Every structure is written in C-alpha cells, then in structure tokens.
Structure 1
C-alpha cells in the first residue's frame, strides 16, 4: 500500500505542477482546481485548503470515480445489446438532437432524456457500489423505526433497494421507460429519493455524484452516437454474471463489435 501511495503521490505532484505551469492559459475561465489551488495559496482561515488536502481530493476522484463509472457504462452497453430496440431508440434520439455531422457534446445531454433514462436504469439495476460506504453509529439511535445499537457498523444494501419488488415494477427488467413516465419518473439519483440511492444519501452522499452522472451519460452517449454495435460473430448470449468486490463489475467483460455510424468528417474533427 505504501508503494502504491508513493507512486500515486509522484503522479499527483506532477499533475499539480503541470496545472500551475499552465494556469495563465485559463485566466479568463479558471477550472475547479484553479479555484481550489488559489484558495490554498491565499491561506485564509477557515477556508484554507492545504496541498495535501488537494491531493487527497484528486486521489478520491481517481480512485472512487474511475472504475465505478466504467462499470455502469459497461452494464448499460450490455443491456442495450441484449435489447437492441433500446439501443435503436437511443440512436434515433441522437439523430434528432445531434445528427451525424458532429460528435456528441456535453451540452447536448440535457436534450437527451432517453439517454439519461438509460443511465439511471443502469445505476438502478447494476449499481457500481452494491453496498454503501460503511457507516458507524457511535451511540444508540433509531432510524426508520429500527433500533441501532451503539458502536455498530452499518451497510446499506443499495443493490437490493434498486431491485425491491415492493417499489419497482418488474424490477429485474431493464426498462429505461420507467424513468420517463409513471410514478418513478420523478425519482432522481441525488440521495433525496430513498427508492434510488446509487450514490448514497445524507451527509455521506458521494461528493462526485453530479460529475459521475455527467461522465456516465457523456461517455455512454458518445459510444451510442458514434458507433453501431453488435455481438461478435457466433455469439448468442451475453454472460450476465456479476463479479465480486467493493464494486460490481461483470464477471466476464463485455465483448462487442463497433462500426462507425457518423459522417467521416465528424471523426476527422476530433
């Protein structure tokens, strides 16, 4: 662990040094790290943020936000390949909003409700963290009618909440439509609606939930928009076995064939 920590620290120091060296290029539009670093340099109390704290924050983004986003995207692609009609509808939405002459941009996402619904449904059925980060009750308390003894560790089963048949109709079916109409259309993964808490809730809610949703929607949308997808020749079924660990990847990685669907100029611009 210490060896990994040292390697990570070298990378973060290099990243921060490069960011400081190019700060002049972002004077008109500073990014989040510029603002945090400026606050740290000012040294004002109580807002002062040390370099170590900044590196810890970046490390959290890398460690907590990399495989989790990739896992949700892979499960979403898997479900769409199992149900090509969902993939086709998503591409038709892209056709109307973006077209085939350019690549998807982040600013397009608010105009793509079906893509958003696919992302939410993937988070519901395949949460990247099936159990919440551990919580600790230092004193006895009561929550939701349950008595929690003092000095207890608590884990919230996010996986089971998203598959609860008392809350979700046909809970094992991948159906993005449930987030577009009907009772569950109001539900958002922000930690307010307890029927759907892939990022947790309360003061311990994931600090990167908004960035995580944007990352999943943008990368998934780019894959759907830029390419046509099919199973490898001879493949009949997709293995849906879940892996094990703190996160919930597929036990067998998805294998799929991609072919370009946009005009050649769109890829050339990139």
Structure 2
C-alpha cells in the first residue's frame, strides 16, 4: 500500500491527488477505530483537503498521528516516508475489533431500504421470469463505495448493465460483486483492498425506462467456480424455482447488510 504523491498541508508542498487523499483518509479512519485514537480520525473519506485559512480535519488527523508516533507534526505524508510507513504499520499490526471487521459499503445510509421490492433480493425481474440476484442500495451518482472487508480483486472491472460497470472482490468468507458502479474504477485483478477502503463510485443507469443510481450488491459463498452470471440450466433458484441466472453459490446479502448498517464505512 502506498501513495503516489504527498498528502496533507498545502503549504508543505502536498499535491493532494484525490486517490492519494482517499487512501490516507481510509488508513487514518482505520487507525482511529482499531487503535482507539479518536484524534486521528479525519472525519470522513471524501478525497479532499481544505485549503488555508480553512481548517482541514485530515491535516489535523495527520498531525495527531505524527505527535503520537513521536514524529514532527508537519501535517504531511509523503510516498515512502517514515511517517507514512509508521501509519500503515500501526494499522496493519492492530488487532481486529470484537465482532469482526466488516462495514456497510457507504459512509452514509442508503437512500432507501434494500428489504422491499424492487430493491430486495429475490424480487421479480423480466415479468417474473427471473429473480433479482442481489440488493440495491440507492444513493446519489458518484457516492463513494467502500470495501466491506479486506479482500482481493479477482477480476478487472467490466461492463455490467445500462452503461455501468461491476467489480468482483474475494473477501475470504464470501465473494461480492459490486455492480452498477461508475466506469472509472482503477482497481485491477490481484490487487488487495482493506476494509473501508474506497473502491468505486455509484454509477448512473442510462438507456432504461427510469434512469437511476444505486450500488447493486451480489454475494457468493465461494463454493462454486466460474463466471458469476450463469445460464438458466446452471443457475441458483428461488424457493419456487424461479432462476436468478447466477452461479449456484449465490447467497442473500440482506442479513449481512442489516448487520453492517450500524457500521458505516469511515465511522
């Protein structure tokens, strides 16, 4: 894990590239939660650093960590610097909190619940000929999507539905397809992600009857192999036999999301 350019205080020469800022904010957020250091909490993951004379919660969080680590509180983290390496090492060495280390994929609640049709798992699709294979989390276009748990990207982002993409991540106990994301995800197959890390953004479905924005979450227990989208002959099925047109190890994300809803990413 590394950043490509300096992040932090503008007056110290920071470039504050969006993806670098998001990474630093994600690591600081994890440090605050895992290590019990509230002063190193950047108060959110938004990819931005306020310019002086406004105060930046992220710069304050960097300075707080540096002070705790016995480093000069410059408010700057540079690629490969001792400050950045100490921060990453502190988080990596932290014990997992009780109850696991999983998050809701947003830093804010979804706009609507995912337990009622048409958003819920198993809802009617295609006039009842197939069942909805996931849960839809409605949110504004561009909202940051966070990894629910540590994991490894198992496929490059690819076109999914109505001019949006999908990303597949193996989270160990399960595989998640993060669907209907913006087609600008930079992650690639083989890359590791950390719980709470920003991985993508909510996309806009276009070319359909009602343009809309959401994160489509599908989950698989990993007991099967091959493409997640499957023909009817090999598909998982609803209790009444209606096919999902998905791999046989498809599972319902609803109970997971109901648990994670109290652990918003970045909190």
Give TM-score, length-normalised by structure 1. Answer: 0.22
Query: Quick check: which one's helix share is greater?
Result: 1
* Rg (Cα) greater in structure: 1
Give TM-score, length-normalised by structure 2. Answer: 0.23
Query: Quick check: which one's strand share is greater?
Result: 2
